[in-house]
Structure 1
Amino acid sequence: MSTAPSSQHVASWYAATANSRLERPALQGESRCDVCVVGAGFTGISAALHLAEKGLKVIVLEASRVGYGASGRNGGQIVNSYSRDMDTIETKYGEQTARALGDMAFEGNRIIRERIAQYDIQCDLRDSNLFAACNAKQLEGLKDHKALWERYGNRDLELLVGDEVKREVNSARYIGALVDHSGGHLHPLNLVLGQAAAFESLGGVIYEQTPLTKLEHGSPVTLKTTGGMVKAERVVMAGNAYLNGVLSELESRSMPCGTQIITTEPLGESRAKALLPNNIAVEDCNYLLDYYRLTNDNRLIYGGGVNYGGEDPSDIETVIRPKLEKTFPQLKGVKVDYAWSGTFLMTLNRLPQFGVLNDNVYYAQGYSGHGVTCTHLAGRLISEVMTGRDDRFDAFAGLPHLPFPGGRLLRVPLSAIGAWYYETRDKLGI
């Protein structure tokens, strides 16, 4: 799949049920601001809103529509921590770094809930998510996971074993599960649209259909677009997988990846409740994991798999339907009303990339499929580092990020080989 954006949202259930279809104008002529944010997804809008709340003049440039990328088409699950958890961070980067990141591991979740309450954002927020174990090794891993998160302050965890899982998920696939009652799920496109409206209510400006064509470092920074330019004292690069060569110095250290989602026809309340009795969001513990949840109109959203390099499969339903029917045989033959792909940005160590170029161009990207909560944390940390507090931003910025082996030519096949290896281990339960 090309990461070049189109002029409209992908044809997803989210787009079909968006609270707003407001189309904002493209930038024309020259503008000036304190901070220019490139990208109107979770990272960009979170940063813009935090900065506007602090009284800065902020302009957001979006190549397509607000929430066009992963922010508006993901699984909608509020999952705590990072794509690599605290035990890995402890082992690789030391106790001090682990403690600094661990102190923030559950903050993105809290920020989301604060935003929803503060600005009355209607995005179908529901509590709790669940990690499901498909084999004994994964169940042991969940026991360790529970102890780890409790050590870092999460006391809202519950381990389910054997038939206890059926309380939450009516599937024979799982032998155990870990429920995080502090997690949850929501309509991600409506969340980002609600925050964009809040930003605009504070005087912020968003230009859509305004791709960045050139960034010229300096003081101020000059950002050139197809219809005009912005001069800004500072810049936030928040395009993630959609920067299209604008930050070429970072490209070797990340890789666009695609994931696919389908949404069923409405199942009706009783049929939906028979699948997920307490309306919990679920992801399994496989390396190439499946994830799913119910919508507010009793559909099942089901996603899974990764395409390295971001290429779309020719038939998304053909890829995802077997996964859905393996999990819920009772849905065999169910009608699928929506099917779409999304592109996220993966890093080699699966930890997000934060940093600053030339002292005034900040970036946050590479959440590696774990971005709903961490993007909101990123927005807060960017606002902090721009207004005098740098310790929390620097905890992330100090993480080393190496290029993918083999460079741009070989990163996709080598990653696919690695994924095949871990997928085989999952199937064998080793």
Structure 2
Amino acid sequence: MSQTQSREHVASWYSATANPSPARPALEGDVTCDVCVVGAGFTGISSALHLAERGVSVVVLEASRVGFGASGRNGGQIVNSYSRDMDVIEAKYGELTAQALGDMAFEGNRIIRERIERYAIDCDLRDGNLFAACNERQYEGLVEHKALWERYGHRELELLEGKALKREVNSDRYVGGLVDHSGGHLHPLNLVLGQAAAVESLGGRIFEQTPVVELRHGEPVVLKTPRGEVRAQRVVMAGNAYLQGVLPELEGKSMPCGTQIVTTEPLGEARARELLPNGMAVEDCNYLLDYYRLTADNRLLYGGGVNYGGDDPGDITKVIRPKLAKTFPGLADVKIDYAWSGTFLMTLNRLPQFGVLNGNVYYAQGYSGHGVTCTHLAGKLIAEVMHGQGERFDAFAGLPHLPFPGGRLLRVPLSALGAWYYATRDRLGV
């Protein structure tokens, strides 16, 4: 990664409640390995764990701490599929591509649950997530969404209206909802920390505070760090929004974006259950969506909005509190204990970017806000392709990596203009 300064986890509810994890040393000197993974978030750690389970010698380089980026700061929701669903994929890229990706659209969820069970990871896993419609047009979209997912074999879905909806989310903001009973939510930082420990239990090595300052292609690939060097037969670039300057050929085809989250004071079990009686995670259907859930200690964790380009707002609470109050007016004056931002990587077509450079440098990035499940799928696919089973990885790698209109200079204002258009449609219900 290009950052050279030492960095710790941001002050979030996640970092305040993280399971004990050792501070890993920075790389000193030269090492060799079969595979070097750059980035210790979900993509990198998932890749390292799948590879280590196959007996591969793995070294992970992290510029900050394990789970420093979006993997340790996100909303913690296990949402199936991708940021663009299979109907869009089929219309743009054909039936065969849609079927290939559709066959994998619910696999990341299963991988997460298998990892938690196999390695006994304590990360507050709970079942169920709900897509909430703010108007009739959005509810009609959920009806179509249910039919689409069922066409691809996913049937753990339930449409809700009226009193049935109120039994899941006690807000007057919505006209209907779609429950995915197979979804859920968890403590994402503890999930990635638990998987990092699993990597090390299998012989993998993780170095923190170790940015990559130069990558030299070849056989082996040489990765230079401030105080050392790694020589690897193959490399996985898994820094996502934090790889600026290391793979410049990809930078014009993706854009860092920021999103903000707050966590309230503890509400107590009774008050928390009034809001979300069965503890489901919720996201609405707006283009600039809100998302929220209860934590294990009965706080409301609430996020929303997008800052194109990744800049943080000056006052996160001021940005998020009106959204929270619109959904739950009774919490308009609730005390906010934590507020933080996170950066994710967005692509123009909102589909992830997989690929290989020079035959031995693999990458997976650009999950566009749907990274919790797809990152775990990516790690499995990278392990597969490195062992001669490339069909599933290639289904993603065959998707075009589209440049943003206007290039790096204009991608932020043009994206903001597009978001304003769609947000206006959401407000008007058209």
| Partners of 1:390 and 1:203 in 2: CA distance | 25
Question: What residue is the counterpart of 1:250 in the other structure?
Answer: 250
Q: Deviations over 1:376-405 (max 9, x none)?
A: 000000000001100000000000111000
| Partners of 2:127 and 2:316 in 1: CA distance | 29
**1:162 CA drift (Å):** 2.5
TM-score, normalized by length of structure 2? 0.99
Matched, 1:216 2:199: no
Superposition RMSD in Å: 0.9
Runs (4+) of structure 1 exceeding 3 A deviation are 2-6
Question: What residue is the counterpart of 1:72 in the other structure?
Answer: 72
Q: Letter of the 2:268 partner, please give it.
A: G
Question: What residue is the counterpart of 1:128 in the other structure?
Answer: 128
Q: Deviations over 1:254-304 (max 9, x none)?
A: 000000000000000000000000000000000000000000000000000
| Partners of 1:7 and 1:273 in 2: CA distance | 37
Question: What residue is the counterpart of 1:344 in the other structure?
Answer: 344
**1:163 CA drift (Å):** 2.9
| Partners of 1:313 and 1:153 in 2: CA distance | 41
Contact kept, 8 Å, 1:353 with 1:366, in 2: the verdict is yes
Question: What residue is the counterpart of 2:94 in the other structure?
Answer: 94
CA change 1:160–1:6 in 2 (3 A) is: farther
Contact kept, 8 Å, 1:163 with 1:175, in 2: the verdict is no
Contact kept, 8 Å, 2:244 with 2:251, in 1: the verdict is no
Question: What residue is the counterpart of 2:54 in the other structure?
Answer: 54
* DSSP-derived class of the 2:43 partner: helix
Query: What runs of 5+ residues in structure 1 fail to find an aligned partner?
Result: none
Q: Percent identity?
A: 79
* DSSP-derived class of the 2:213 partner: strand
Query: What runs of 5+ residues in structure 2 fail to find an aligned partner?
Result: none
| Partners of 1:200 and 1:337 in 2: CA distance | 34
Q: Deviations over 1:35-72 (max 9, x none)?
A: 00000000000000000000000000000000000000
| Partners of 1:6 and 1:174 in 2: CA distance | 44
Question: What residue is the counterpart of 1:397 in the other structure?
Answer: 397
* DSSP-derived class of the 2:24 partner: coil
Q: Letter of the 1:290 partner, please give it.
A: D
| Segment of structure 1 superposing worse, 5-14 or 342-351 | 5-14
Question: What residue is the counterpart of 1:419 in the other structure?
Answer: 419
* DSSP-derived class of the 1:412 partner: helix
**1:161 CA drift (Å):** 1.5
Q: Letter of the 1:180 partner, please give it.
A: D
Q: Deviations over 1:83-138 (max 9, x none)?
A: 00000001000000000000000000000000000000000000000000000000
Question: What residue is the counterpart of 1:326 in the other structure?
Answer: 326
Question: What residue is the counterpart of 1:156 in the other structure?
Answer: 156
* DSSP-derived class of the 2:172 partner: coil
Question: What residue is the counterpart of 2:375 in the other structure?
Answer: 375
What does residue range 110-259 of structure 1 map to in structure 2 within 5 Å? 110-259=110-259
**1:332 CA drift (Å):** 1.5
Question: What residue is the counterpart of 1:312 in the other structure?
Answer: 312
* DSSP-derived class of the 1:154 partner: coil
Contact kept, 8 Å, 1:287 with 1:422, in 2: the verdict is yes
**1:204 CA drift (Å):** 0.3
| Partners of 1:3 and 1:400 in 2: CA distance | 28
| Partners of 1:373 and 1:180 in 2: CA distance | 14
Q: Deviations over 1:191-230 (max 9, x none)?
A: 0000000000000000000000000000000000011000
Question: What residue is the counterpart of 1:16 in the other structure?
Answer: 16
Contact kept, 8 Å, 1:4 with 1:244, in 2: the verdict is no
CA change 1:286–1:71 in 2 (3 A) is: same
Contact kept, 8 Å, 2:101 with 2:396, in 1: the verdict is yes
**1:11 CA drift (Å):** 0.2
Question: What residue is the counterpart of 2:275 in the other structure?
Answer: 275
Question: What residue is the counterpart of 1:38 in the other structure?
Answer: 38
Question: What residue is the counterpart of 2:409 in the other structure?
Answer: 409
